[in-house]
Amino acid sequence: MAMNYNAKDEVDGGPPCAPGGSAKTRRPDNTAFKQQRLPAWQPILTAGTVLPIFFIIGLIFIPIGIGIFVTSNNIREIEGNVFMYYGLSNFYQNHRRYVKSRDDSQLNGDSSALLNPSKECEPYRRNEDKPIAPCGAIANSMFNDTLELFLIGNDSYPIPIALKKKGIAWWTDKNVKFRNPPGGDNLKERFKGTTKPVNWLKPVYMLDSDPDNNGFINEDFIVWMRTAALPTFRKLYRLIERKSDLHPTLPAGRYSLNVTYNYPVHYFDGRKRMILSTISWMGGKNPFLGIAYIAVGSISFLLGVVLLVINHKYRNSSNTADITI
């Protein structure tokens, strides 16, 4: 006997099987989830629900922004414990290829990655047929100027200011993310078979005479490897500790800054600067966060006012249009 089937059979999974066989179907199970019968809630946006949200955001964000902005401006960028920063302008550490140009396994002390760096480090992966340690564009462009600060005494004799070079990196970076390769006490032997980055003046195992601040765990290097989000940025360089509550960290007077110039900036039309700053509960001086809060709050409040006027103006006409004759 001939068997006929139609399009509905194809949708349901094809024609019925032979007698005694099991019917095949692509129809979903008859459950609330698969048949989309689950209870749902869809908010209805009205003037009575939307306008208060705009005003609440404005009333919350504007005072917070003003508080942050005032706090930031009250930070004295001269004197407490004083932090010395170096700053660069027009340097795009946030470029996608630049950010990826590193090998975190190598920086964590992995022996295999030390001699066979990631291909992400190209073109700063190998030099003179040797693997570069540390590899990548970030490490290759490390800031290497030397800054020295002097207080000019009454006799015009410069008194050097003690600059602490340890304690400037994040604890997790120093103790977790960055580790030297395993081996003996001779750090040079641990980096055997590698070569320095192209733009460096000396290899990584000669960054400092202090063994706790040398190699991949050098804090200047660690600070540089934490890339900045904007093209104008500052990075912590040294810490000037306050030795006595009776005397300021940096007494009033004339100071001299001695810069050993190693880091050229004219290639990318950049600028360098040095900043002395204290910190508050929100960190160093940076008005951006306060301005952002004030801007978002003001825009939200302004939108609320505009929508309130529009709603008041057209509410009567809308109600009239909804009347069914």
Tens-place pLDDT, residues 4-61:
545 444 444 445 555 555 567 788 888 888 888 888 888 788 888 888 998 999 999 9
206 found inside a domain: yes
Number of H helices, E strands in the chain: 10, 8
204 found inside a domain: yes
49 found inside a domain: no
Q: Do residues 267 and 290 share a domain?
A: no
Q: Do residues 212 and 125 share a domain?
A: yes
Report residue 81 as tokens: 């414990």
Q: Do residues 170 and 292 share a domain?
A: no
pLDDT for the residue 313? 81
pLDDT for the residue 321? 52
The residues, ordered by sequence, that sit 6+ positions from 205 with a Cβ below 8 Å of its Cβ are 187, 188, 190, 191, 214, 215
In the chain, the number of structural domains is: 2
17 found inside a domain: no
149/250 Cα distance (integer angstroms):
11
pLDDT for the residue 323? 47
170/236 Cα distance (integer angstroms):
11
Q: Do residues 145 and 171 share a domain?
A: yes
DSSP 196-214: --TT-SS-GGGS-SSGGGS
Q: Do residues 216 and 106 share a domain?
A: yes
Cα atoms in the Cβ-side hemisphere of radius 13 Å centred on 10: 2
pLDDT for the residue 280? 64
Q: Do residues 102 and 165 share a domain?
A: yes
319 found inside a domain: no
Domain extent for 294: 58-75+281-314
Q: Do residues 292 and 191 share a domain?
A: no
Which of the 8 DSSP states describes residue 113? H
Q: Do residues 131 and 221 share a domain?
A: yes
Q: Do residues 285 and 253 share a domain?
A: no
Q: Do residues 66 and 208 share a domain?
A: no
Q: Give 294 or 14, the one with higher predicted confidence.
A: 294
196 found inside a domain: yes
31 found inside a domain: no
Express as a percent the part of the chain with pLDDT over 70: 86
Burial tier of 75 (Cβ tally within 10 Å: 0-12, 13-18, 19+): middle
Q: Do residues 98 and 217 share a domain?
A: yes
pLDDT for the residue 277? 86
The residues, ordered by sequence, that sit 6+ positions from 261 with a Cβ below 8 Å of its Cβ are 145
Q: Mean pLDDT in the chain? A: 86
Q: Do residues 62 and 103 share a domain?
A: no
Kindly report, residue by residue over 298-308, the tens digit of the pLDDT. Answer: 999 999 999 88
Report residue 180 as tokens: 């030297």
86 found inside a domain: no
Cβ atoms of 308 and 54 within 8 Å: the answer is no
